[in-house]
Structure 1
Amino acid sequence: MIVQTPPLDRATGHVADMYDGDLRRDGLVYAHTRAMAINPEAHQAFEALVAAIVPSIGVRTYELATLAAARAVGSPHCLLAHGRKTLRAGLMTEEELERVARDYTDAGLDDADVAVMAYAEKLSTAPASMTDADSERLRAVGFSDRQIVDITLAAAMRNHFSRALQALAVPVDEVPGLTPALVDALLSPVD
């Protein structure tokens, strides 16, 4: 990563909060955190958008959309980070998450969860081909208009964040608390 990130020993304000959060949780400051700390106002805006989205769809749906979008764009940073967030939040067991990571369509998820992941995947790989039929599939499994918009925003903002990390060539850190089998499942190429 060529950009110079704010040094840990001189971090103040929101940057210090970002660094302290990583240090408290994991004992290190992730490279992706350092990269986003270059523009703390943008990071705060990103966090505010997440906070505006999650209440209508819930953490589980947000994480499923995030994982599907991150997988579709090949973002190891986000797959590892959100894989662990999914586990820490108790949204899935490690075995369930491994199955979802390998093939969400054959992982025992309910129809709504599969629809969310398929929608986020398509938004991330072929957004220009999306039609009302894609949103209608979400409506058919019970999502409201607000939830459809928020699922869309969750996947689209994951594209934004993931692609920014990729464009900046941010190194991928090892994420503590993930087994090698789960890391392999999260990072295995999409078939």
Structure 2
Amino acid sequence: MAWIKTIPFDAATGKLRQLYDRVTGPGNNVDNIMMMHSLRPHTMEGHMALYKHVLHHSANTVPKWFLETLGVWVSSLNDCAYCVEHHFAGLKRLLDDDARADALRAALAAGDVGGTPLDAAQQAALRYAQRLTQTPADMDAADVEALRMAGWDDGQILEINQVTAYFGYANRTVLGLGCSTDGDVIGLSPGNSDDPDDWGHH
């Protein structure tokens, strides 16, 4: 499952067990990406806090399904199949339109932003995320201005930026440590957006 030692749920004690109890899904399942942190539980705590606040917080105004779309896009650009699978499942559930979700996934997999079933503002956000993921040193004020011109306000631009940056981190955690989906329940997420401290996966 991984290229480093990890501690399974049943063997966890102390702080690690406390954190596992907070992030478990059905049957005490802990996502493998969280288990990657088991030798340094404080990094799991930081990861989950960042994830919950960036992607699953009630103060966000960008629709959650589109934030998940950005995550699938960034993960696809980084060839992180683990995050694509998990977050496409979440996206599909939130969008509640299987045909549109499948068309979206196909376009993203092909790298075809213009072919996505999204509006112009959403496509502009995908282009911003692509540039930030692939050529971050080339970003300039014009990239943010393009998002404004597309209709995003500055708070929403921050959300788009933070989700893009978070998935860069998550993808590198997965790809750099050999994390696989073996044993995972695909598509669970912390659904209680009103409580940042509720990390339970459903």
Unaligned stretches of 5+ in structure 1? 179-191
Whether 1:95 aligns to 2:95 is no
Distance 1:13 1:70 in 2: 29
Counterpart code for 1:102: A
For residue 117 of structure 2, give the secondary structure of its aligned residue in structure 1: coil
Tell me how far 1:13 sits from its aligned partner: 0.1
Whether 1:170 aligns to 2:171 is no
| Paired position in structure 2 for 1:110 | 119
Distance 2:158 2:165 in 1: 10
**Which has more helix, going by share of residues?**
1
Whether 1:141 aligns to 2:150 is yes
Q: Deviations over 1:94-119 (max 9, x none)?
A: 22122212224212211121112121
- Asked if structure 1 preserves the Cα contact closer than 8 Å seen for 2:83 and 2:171, the reply is yes
Counterpart mapping for 1:70-81 below 5 A? 70-81=75-86
Change (3 A) 1:136 1:92: farther
With the length of structure 1 as denominator, give the TM-score of the two structures: 0.78
With the length of structure 2 as denominator, give the TM-score of the two structures: 0.75
Counterpart mapping for 1:1-191 below 5 A? 1-11=2-12, 12-18=17-23, 20-21=24-25, 23-24=26-27, 28-53=29-54, 54=57, 55-56=59-60, 57-89=62-94, 91-103=95-107, 104-173=113-182
Tell me the percent identity. 22
**How many equivalent residue pairs?**
173
Counterpart code for 1:4: K
Query: What do you get for the CA RMSD once the two structures are aligned?
Result: 2.3
- Asked if structure 1 preserves the Cα contact closer than 8 Å seen for 2:75 and 2:167, the reply is yes
Counterpart code for 2:66: T
Q: Deviations over 1:1-52 (max 9, x none)?
A: 231111221331012332x22x35xx85443232134433323323322343
